[in-house]
Amino acid sequence: MSNKSMSDMKKSTVAVIDYGMGNLHSVAKALEHVADENTTVIVTSDPAVIDAADRVLLPGVGAIRDCIGEMNNAGLVPSIRKAMAEKPFLAICVGIQSLMSHSEENGGVDCLNHFQGNALFFGEKHTDHDGSKLKVPHMGWNQVKHTINHPLWADIPDNARFYFVHSFYVVPENKSEVAGTCDYGLEFCVALARDNVFAVQFHPEKSHKDGLQLYKNFLHWDGKP
């Protein structure tokens, strides 16, 4: 057997990082739904398991202070940084915000600073381009425009709708890291990409076929842009 087919047969693991912020059921179920028989999905808070995994998914729900606090309490930050340095890594929802330098939420919280820039609040008086009132949180299905070609966008139509629930949005300093945008009163970044790290503001696990396709793309991604 050649080396190539050996590696094709290889068992692969994806670690879904559990840092005590609750519901990871739907993330894990969606990954399992698209995983082939050689791929194992592990929900874990064990740094050793994260270090050993072939790819890592950082979910996020709730408020940023608790997220960063729990990551620190659980001793997960070194493993998260290590994974971001060397293997396919996907961050979801509050996960994308946690990778920024800073968030306005909870009176201001310093984050992991993988992407330079901040997470800002839409504000309770957010308005559309014509001045009409927009609800906050931004909740529901909105269109995602691809601003770059990327393996994680494979087989996903440009402007497909994904499910969002959030009140804060990320503003990266380096615009070349923006992989996708969305319009809600303003055009804002909903996907970031650099090397082997991809991060999205929406919830692929709640976004029906296109969301499942993004997870499938992640499971097949070699980490190259």
Q: What is the rounded CA–CA span in Å between residue 22 and residue 204?
A: 17
Q: Does the active-site annotation cover 67?
A: no
Q: Are the CB atoms for 94 and 64 separated by under 8 Å? A: yes
Q: Are the CB atoms for 66 and 27 separated by under 8 Å? A: no
Name which of 51 and 143 has its Cβ closer to other proteins: 143
Stretch 22-61 residues interacting with other proteins (CB under 8 A): 22-23, 25-26, 29-30, 33, 61
Q: Does the active-site annotation cover 182?
A: no
- Exactly one of 36, 37, 124, 222 binds other proteins (CB under 8 A); that residue is 124
- Cβ at position 66, least distance to other proteins in Å: 9
Q: Which residue has the tokens 């971001």?
A: 84
Backbone angles phi, psi at 201, to 5 degrees: -85, -30
Site size for other proteins, by CB under 8 A? 40
Beta bridge partners of 198: 90, 193
Q: Does the active-site annotation cover 111?
A: no
Catalytic residue among 129, 138, 205, 208: 205
Catalytic residue among 67, 93, 182, 189: 93
- Exactly one of 44, 205, 214, 221 binds other proteins (CB under 8 A); that residue is 205
- Exactly one of 54, 70, 104, 183 binds other proteins (CB under 8 A); that residue is 183
Sequence-ordered list of residues with C-beta below 8 angstroms from that of 44, at least 6 positions apart, any chain: 15, 16, 17, 18, 50
- Cβ at position 59, least distance to other proteins in Å: 12
Within a 10 A sphere around the Cβ of 57, how many other Cβ atoms?
A: 27
Within a 10 A sphere around the Cβ of 166, how many other Cβ atoms?
A: 22
Burial 67-83 (b: 16+ CB within 10 A, else e): bbbbbeebebbebbeeb
**Is residue 141 a contact point for other proteins (CB under 8 A)?**
yes
51-59, 113-121, 128-136, 146-154 -> range binding other proteins (CB under 8 A) = 128-136
Residues belonging to the active site:
93, 203, 205
Where does this chain bind other proteins (CB under 8 A)?
22-23, 25-26, 29-30, 33, 61-63, 124-126, 128, 133-143, 159, 161, 163-166, 183-184, 203, 205-208, 211-212
